[in-house]
Structure 1
Amino acid sequence: MSIKSLCARRAARFLKRCQQHGVRRTFYLYSPEPFHPLYDRAPIWKTAEEAVQVIQSDSRVYIHGAAATPIKLVEAMTDHAKKAGLQNVEVLHIHTEGPGTYNLPEYDGIIRSNSLFLGANARKAVAEGRADTIPIFLSEIPQLFRRHIIDIDVALVSVAPPDKHGFCSLGTSVDCTRSAIQNAKYIIAMVNENLPRTFGDGVIHQSHIDAMVENTQPLPELKRGALSKEEKEIGKVIADNLVADGATLQMGIGSIPDAVLAQLGHHKNLGVHSEMFSDGVVELVEKGVITNSEKSILTGRLVSSFSIGTKILYDFLHNNPSVEMRDVEFTNSTSIICQNPKMTAINSCIEVDLTGQVCADSIGPRMYSGFGGQIDFIRGAALGLDGQGKPIIAMPSATKKGESKIVPELKYGSGVVTTRAHVHYIVTEYGIAYLFGKNFRQRAYDLIQIAHPDHRESLEKAAFERLKVMPSKT
């Protein structure tokens, strides 16, 4: 029996029971929580092409992101928008996987993307003025929807198939999607048997969904690349000097977090409270390194808001009660983060100036990513209630072209994500610069010591020109 047939049977039996017991619907507008059943509603099964017909000119459409990107629905939406001659459709999302067809030049004036965190498929469109991006902390995105600062007409999401009680799961990405579906007027769900069923805040009852579309496509995968020798050394520096046994970890995505995780095999009783994680965490769980046993918040459970990686990760997530996928307003709350023991936040960046200003979202004026959870966790770790938190920014000392990533001044047009007052630890393959409580003269000195040797002399001269005094350790 197909997923569609099985779900339809279950929904029919559920409605019949509710009618027999005289249960009435709790109207969604007065109780915007997608968990409780709405007893007089059931989703209508449609094709992707049929489901997206509800999208009209000037509609605002939310798209589920990362590994849960409903690519089939997105493609159906773009086809419908062009064929129907729609105009000014706005799509709102964090980074999405897939081609991001709506960002192609041929959709200019038809669909305009508005990114809350910029992914690779949106960068060119933003740079050319055909798409937008909103600078915002990841923790605050749900407030846009819950306060009705941004209202959503249609939400395109992926869900795991409903269970016998009619409950679906948002799977790999709860993040800001939970708040988006609370706000959306119409919800279209791509029911994908390959999406892992996860625990936490991502449970939604099928009665809140307006249209369901069957799908069996494999999830997008993000495979790890080979680490450079510089990245491996950065991982070793952090693991050996800054990650203590019993620490709670947050890490972003990419080669630097992978390099750190690869060096933690001999640590004990680590925990994870992060906005995201990938395959490297799974390996440490299976080795018994990550136990989450010493965490203060959700002890014994790995906490995240979204996840992307390979099938190894997705199999690990499926029906695993030791993993809590939570609303990003919870995972990224500084008041929650700071309660975890030895909170160690590891993030990367594009460049750092000699006063400690960190650029992580742009290359000069060209937007590259977004604020994400960097400040949420840098601040949360710095405020650790046990006084042992470590906010870390890590990067290779130089670009692949040999340019220094520690610079006298940020490039013209660069954005500051982590301010010089927020920054504590800066790490390169040459060591650790601890900047908290240091003046500009001391900061410049410490940063020059971990810069690439080829650039130290010129950085020292630039520091003198900027500060009118030589960098000094004391």
Structure 2
Amino acid sequence: MIDLRPFVSAGDGVWWGQGGAEPEPLVNALLDQVGEIGEVRAFCGLTWNPRLAGDLPDELTVLSYGGLGELRRLSRHGRLDVVPCHYSALPRMFARGQLPADVGLVQVSRPDGNGEVSLGIGVEYAADAIPHSRVLVAEMNHRMPPTAGSARLPLERFAAVVETDRPLAEASTRPADAVDQAIADNVAGLIEDGDTLQMGVGPLPNAVLDSLSGHRELGFHSGMITDGVLTLVEKGVLTGARKEIDRGIVVTGAALGTAEFYARLGEFPVEFRPASYTHSPAVLSRLRSLVSINSAIEVDLLGQVGAEIRRGVHIGAVGGQVDFSRAASLTGARSIIALRSESAGESTISPALRGGIVTTARVDVDAVVTEHGVALLTGCTVAERARRLIRVAAPRHRSTLENSLADRELS
């Protein structure tokens, strides 16, 4: 185990990469040694590290932009401090010292012939935080693939390097079911040939990708890609031939998939860019064909989206949803919110957001899609939006929603 005490001091702020790019051995070393180091504030994103699930050392404070992966459990135990922000704001927040950035823990590839390493499948906010970090410590994983699209780092930039040869963390999601497929088919009906897509990860996005196999000349520009994206590239569906910028290239900040997917990334026209590019309003405004496809916990009868909190626990994030939804709605082609009509027996279309927090404003949502259909909202009055949303709600909840609509005098 590496001794981090020469590099991390009491009062420092530490950040590390997320998902498959999380440098878990370095994070675990910090957890083991922080009691001797003293109080440390740490920032991270999506994590599957079970040691970050709740029982943390008292000296460590964990911040994140949301409750993703094991951070949900941390939130449930009251040990997660959420910094609500657009994903596009992370680069500026690191630059201004508003997020912990004294020490960066990163996972990198083996060096190339020039002695330089790649951030591999986790460029995103890491690339934007690095210039503002006093110290960098690297896990050099022999299985991290070098990727194209962003600058590489010389080995001398790191204060210490630990070599590993371990599998990258893989996405573990349930297979898409009949409900996911019905939603996906409804979403696919809104996609035109030549559109440039943004979407997240999980069973529903995977089902959407499967439903697009009959489309042509689609593009992709997103914060993250999965196996399904490369499948569509192989099928000749995702060509990027009509993209207004980065033509012919799949642009992403990170990858999250299977071991085979990671191993084959170099065979495809994929470029990994920092969050300051992938989520930049200036960049997204140039993609006139942009269609954003995002999920939610709930949508109210005004069309407001809640994607962060359920029963007082952070289980989601603002993330890039607003960045992409707003761009797609204002300067792109269409902003779509796709979700199941029920969750744990409750309607996900509700009179008011149970979580109490609006993630995406109603004016940034063009369509809400469930397994029961599509509610096109743009250009509709408040009352008509509500009626359309009720029509795509689960049938057994519609009468209750209609009664609430009458009580609020929106009808």
Residue 151 of structure 1, CA deviation: 4.9
For 1:345-404, what per-residue CA distance to the aligned partner results, in whole angstroms no more than 9, with x for missing partners? 10000001111110001114321121111011111111236xxx01000001111x3211
For 1:424-473, what per-residue CA distance to the aligned partner results, in whole angstroms no more than 9, with x for missing partners? 1100111111112222211111001111111111110111111x253xxx
1:382 paired with 2:321, answer no
How far, CA to CA, are the matches of 1:254 and 1:469 in structure 2?
A: 35
Q: Which residue of 2 aligns with 1:77?
A: 30
1:284 paired with 2:227, answer no
Q: Call closer, same or farther: CA 1:200–1:52 in 2, change over 3 Å.
A: farther
Q: What residue identity is the alignment partner of 2:190?
A: L
Could you tell me whether the CA contact under 8 Å between 1:98 and 1:220 is conserved in 2? Answer: no
1:338 paired with 2:285, answer yes
Q: Which residue of 2 aligns with 1:426?
A: 368
How far, CA to CA, are the matches of 1:60 and 1:203 in structure 2?
A: 24
Please list, as runs of the form range in 1=range in 2, the aligned pairs for 1:315-330 lying within 5 A after superposition.
Answer: 315-317=263-265, 319-320=266-267, 322-330=269-277
How far, CA to CA, are the matches of 2:340 and 2:83 in structure 1?
A: 28
Could you tell me whether the CA contact under 8 Å between 1:159 and 1:171 is conserved in 2? Answer: yes
Could you tell me whether the CA contact under 8 Å between 2:15 and 2:100 is conserved in 1? Answer: no
Could you tell me whether the CA contact under 8 Å between 1:66 and 1:97 is conserved in 2? Answer: yes
Residue 49 of structure 1, CA deviation: 1.8
Q: Which residue of 1 aligns with 2:119?
A: 170
The alignment partner of 1:49 has SS state of: coil
Residue 329 of structure 1, CA deviation: 1.5
How far, CA to CA, are the matches of 2:22 and 2:5 in structure 1?
A: 15
Q: Which residue of 1 aligns with 2:38?
A: 87
The alignment partner of 2:99 has SS state of: coil
Residue 71 of structure 1, CA deviation: 0.7
Q: Which residue of 2 aligns with 1:403?
A: 346
Residue 409 of structure 1, CA deviation: 1.1
How far, CA to CA, are the matches of 1:296 and 1:110 in structure 2?
A: 49
Could you tell me whether the CA contact under 8 Å between 1:352 and 1:405 is conserved in 2? Answer: yes
Q: Which residue of 2 aligns with 1:58?
A: 11
Q: Which residue of 1 aligns with 2:357?
A: 415
CA RMSD of superposed structures (Å):
1.6
Residue 203 of structure 1, CA deviation: 2.0
**TM-score normalised by length of structure 2:** 0.96
Residue 313 of structure 1, CA deviation: 1.7
Q: What residue identity is the alignment partner of 1:97?
A: W
What is the identity percentage for the equivalent residue pairs of Structure 1 and Structure 2? 35
How far, CA to CA, are the matches of 1:427 and 1:202 in structure 2?
A: 39
Could you tell me whether the CA contact under 8 Å between 1:246 and 1:341 is conserved in 2? Answer: no
Q: Call closer, same or farther: CA 1:243–1:198 in 2, change over 3 Å.
A: same
Q: What residue identity is the alignment partner of 1:380?
A: A
For 1:236-288, what per-residue CA distance to the aligned partner results, in whole angstroms no more than 9, with x for missing partners? 1111x211111111001112211110111111111100111111111111111
The alignment partner of 1:173 has SS state of: coil
The alignment partner of 2:236 has SS state of: coil
Q: Which residue of 1 aligns with 2:195?
A: 247
Q: Which residue of 2 aligns with 1:153?
A: 102
Q: Call closer, same or farther: CA 1:341–1:469 in 2, change over 3 Å.
A: closer
1:435 paired with 2:385, answer no
Unaligned runs of at least 5 residues, structure 2: none
How far, CA to CA, are the matches of 1:273 and 1:469 in structure 2?
A: 38
Q: Which residue of 2 aligns with 1:235?
A: 184
The alignment partner of 1:176 has SS state of: helix
Q: Which residue of 1 aligns with 2:336?
A: 392
Q: Call closer, same or farther: CA 1:233–1:123 in 2, change over 3 Å.
A: same
Q: Which residue of 1 aligns with 2:148?
A: 199
Residue 335 of structure 1, CA deviation: 2.5
For 1:38-60, what per-residue CA distance to the aligned partner results, in whole angstroms no more than 9, with x for missing partners? xxxxxxxxxx4234542232221
Q: Which residue of 1 aligns with 2:78?
A: 129
1:464 to 383, 406, 410: 406
Could you tell me whether the CA contact under 8 Å between 1:282 and 1:316 is conserved in 2? Answer: no
The alignment partner of 2:91 has SS state of: helix
Could you tell me whether the CA contact under 8 Å between 1:103 and 1:130 is conserved in 2? Answer: no
Unaligned runs of at least 5 residues, structure 1: 1-47
How far, CA to CA, are the matches of 1:52 and 1:74 in structure 2?
A: 13
Q: Call closer, same or farther: CA 1:125–1:242 in 2, change over 3 Å.
A: same
Q: Which residue of 2 aligns with 1:24?
A: none
Q: Flag as ranges the 4+ runs of structure 1 deviating above 3 A.
A: none
Q: What residue identity is the alignment partner of 1:408?
A: P
**TM-score normalised by length of structure 1:** 0.83
Could you tell me whether the CA contact under 8 Å between 1:67 and 1:221 is conserved in 2? Answer: yes
Q: Which residue of 1 aligns with 2:55?
A: 105
For 1:52-75, what per-residue CA distance to the aligned partner results, in whole angstroms no more than 9, with x for missing partners? 542232221111111010111111
Q: Which residue of 2 aligns with 1:351?
A: 298
Tell which structure's C-alpha radius of gyration is larger: 1
Q: Call closer, same or farther: CA 1:224–1:366 in 2, change over 3 Å.
A: closer
